[in-house]
Amino acid sequence: MRRAFLTIMGICALAGAGFPARSQETTSQLTLPHRSSLLAPVSKPTAPAMLTIPAETEVSIQLLSGIHTEVNQLNDYVQASLVHPVYVNGRVALPTGTMLDGRITRIQMAGHLHRAAELAFRFERVTLPDGQATPISAIIAGVDNPQGSTLRLDNEGHFRGGRGISWRDLLPTVGGFGVLATLKATAAKSVSFTPWFALGSAALVGYEVFWPRGGDVNLPPDTHCLIRLNTPVTVRVPS
């Protein structure tokens, strides 16, 4: 009996020693997938690309709001849209349809004694079609002149109206002298004519000839211009 009991106890001991090993083996098999997943590379979101448009770049725009020195005032709002896209390293930085916002920085009405009107405005922000807004500093560098040769633009982006008198402007006035002479000769035969009428008419015509009013600056809507960036502009583009 004792021998049989010892045999049974030995078998139980061997069986008990086998269970922890199987349990440990099962646990290690369960943990291996978890450890391998920790070692797998984690994908990071791709950051958007940034493009910088250099300073001195010239951009084609179209005015959406008309400007006139007889109507507008200092700090009035000016809006335009981009006509042609701007590329940097072969990629589109500013697409067509980008909006530009600015304001009038200088305005002076025309006056007599040939004093021409003056106007200047600056763009301060661009808004891309995706809604991205970026500050800029840009001035007018060229214009599809709507006033012929009378409108002048300097290197600082300041417009000036015309100051000279053309023969086309003088012809109606010269004709006025002829009419005045005819009226004078006719009125000389009547009792109601006085020298003061002739002097007043001559003074009025002479004032318009020798002290004419300077030209206005008029930039109607849809005027095409070139603007020049004073500082670099950095925008975000899709990767």
44 pLDDT above the threshold of 80: no
Q: CA-CA distance, 111 to 164, in Å (whole number)?
A: 13
Token digits of residue 88: 């940097």
Domains and CATH numbers, the chain: 49-164+215-237 (2.40.128.260)
The model's pLDDT over 183-237, given as tens digits with 9 standing for 90+, comes to 444 545 554 545 544 545 444 444 444 556 688 999 999 999 999 999 999 999 9
Q: CA-CA distance, 73 to 213, in Å (whole number)?
A: 20
Which of 51-60, 105-114, 184-193 reaches the highest mean pLDDT? 51-60
Angle value at C-alpha 49, between 45 and 52, nearest 5 degrees:
160
Q: CA-CA distance, 146 to 219, in Å (whole number)?
A: 7
Question: Which residue's entry shows tokens 């959406």?
Answer: 64
Token digits of residue 31: 């943990």
Q: Which of 14-23, 66-75, 152-161 has the lowest mean pLDDT?
A: 14-23
Burial of 148 (0-12, 13-18, 19+ CB in 10 A): exposed
Q: Which letter does DSSP use for residue 138 in this model?
A: E
How confident is the model at residue 144, as a pLDDT?
Answer: 86
Whether the full predicted model's pTM is greater than 0.85, yes or no, is no
